[in-house]
């Protein structure tokens, strides 16, 4: 099914190339309203997870998820820039345990959190990093007080729509413009002259953390993106 990104944040993060015949590479930003691939319709959940992780990362904290979400969902989170999965961390819940790096809390509010962290530090006198398990809606409330967030759900809303035609899309990363080539074919940006990057492809890179992180880093500073019809 040919799809476009119809509703959600100004920039979403594509994830789920394994559900598509042609698509962006996982971790690639897509602009609101933009056609992006020929995919299974349930790919919206994966794009939602990847986009949510990217938004939280922009708050300056690490983002972790649980393997309980499922393999596809974990890979989508990595495409959005996730730092890891909870089950691979050295952590304890609500209390410090000798040798752990993280202590995971699930507080009602920041006041409860900071007082609990101080009490544990005073009692054990050992260093540890603070994680909070919370939903997307509450992540921004806790972000200033923690080292990382374990996302438990509440993913940002993303809606896709079916389209009849999938154009070639060329991206100028420098200008933040995607050229939708319905009528013309471009090789270079009409604004700066730089060579365009092909966005939609049949290439399927390996599903690996290394690949996801590489693509995420390539686009980490892209904060604006729009499309232009040519």
Tens of pLDDT, residue by residue, the chain (230 residues): 999 999 999 999 999 999 999 999 999 999 999 999 999 999 999 999 999 999 999 999 999 999 999 999 999 999 999 999 999 999 999 999 999 999 999 999 999 999 999 999 999 999 999 999 999 999 999 999 999 999 999 999 999 999 999 999 999 999 999 999 998 899 999 999 999 999 999 988 899 999 999 999 999 999 999 999 99
pLDDT of residue 12: 98
Whole-angstrom CA distances from 219 to 12, 38, 41, 53, 174 are: 12, 22, 25, 14, 11
Contact present, 200 and 22 (Cβ < 8 Å): yes
pLDDT at site 134: 97
CA distance 178 to 168: 10
Is the pTM value of this prediction over 0.75?
Answer: yes
pLDDT for position 204? 87
Which 3 state secondary structure label does DSSP give 132? strand
């Amino acid at each position: 099914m040919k799809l476009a990104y119809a509703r959600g944040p100004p920039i979403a993060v594509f994830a789920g190339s394994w559900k598509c015949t042609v698509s962006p590479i996982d971790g690639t930003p897509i602009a609101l309203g933009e056609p992006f691939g020929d995919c299974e319709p349930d790919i919206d959940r994966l794009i939602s997870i990847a986009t949510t992780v990217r938004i939280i990362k922009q708050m300056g904290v690490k983002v972790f998820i649980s393997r309980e979400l499922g393999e596809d969902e974990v890979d989508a989170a990595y495409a959005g820039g996730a730092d890891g999965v909870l089950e691979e961390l050295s952590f304890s819940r609500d209390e410090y345990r000798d040798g752990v790096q993280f202590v995971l809390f699930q507080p009602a509010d920041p006041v409860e959190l900071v007082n609990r962290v101080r009490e544990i530090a005073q009692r054990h006198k050992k260093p540890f990093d603070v994680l909070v398990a919370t939903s997307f809606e509450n992540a921004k409330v806790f972000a200033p007080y923690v080292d990382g967030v374990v996302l438990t759900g509440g993913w940002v809303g993303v809606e896709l729509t079916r389209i009849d035609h999938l154009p070639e899309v060329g991206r100028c990363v420098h200008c933040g413009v995607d050229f939708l080539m319905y009528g013309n074919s471009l090789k270079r940006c009409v604004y700066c002259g730089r060579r365009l990057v092909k966005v939609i492809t049949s290439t399927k890179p390996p599903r690996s953390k290394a690949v996801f992180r590489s693509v995420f880093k390539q686009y980490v500073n892209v904060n604006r993106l729009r499309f232009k019809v040519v």
